[in-house]
């Protein structure tokens, strides 16, 4: 059975990082006002491959 260190190494060296870009958080003003709290959205549709799941698009 692989150790946690082996698994982490595989994650950090995955080829998907060649295609993935770090996306910024975007404030959702209407939802924030409605919930009376700050709501931030992680816009993964801003990836260059326009996919939420890079593993399927790359």
6-35 pLDDT, tens digit each = 989 988 887 777 777 787 899 999 999 999
Would you call 37 helix, strand, or coil by DSSP?
coil
DSSP lists the bridge partners of residue 26 as 41
| pTM of the complete model beyond 0.75 | no
How do residues 33-42 score in pLDDT, each as one tens digit?
A: 999 999 999 8
Q: What's the alpha-carbon Rg for the chain, to the nearest Å?
A: 16
Residue 1's pLDDT is what?
60
Return the residue matching tokens 């593993």: 55
DSSP lists the bridge partners of residue 25 as 42
CA–CA distances in Å: residue 51 to residues 3, 21, 48, 58: 30, 12, 8, 9
């Amino acid at each position: 059975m692989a150790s946690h260190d082996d698994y982490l190494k595989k994650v950090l060296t995955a080829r998907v990082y060649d295609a993935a870009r770090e996306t910024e958080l975007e404030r959702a003003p209407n939802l924030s006002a409605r919930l009376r709290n700050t709501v931030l959205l992680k816009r993964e549709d801003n990836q260059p491959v326009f996919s939420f799941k890079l593993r399927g698009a790359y």
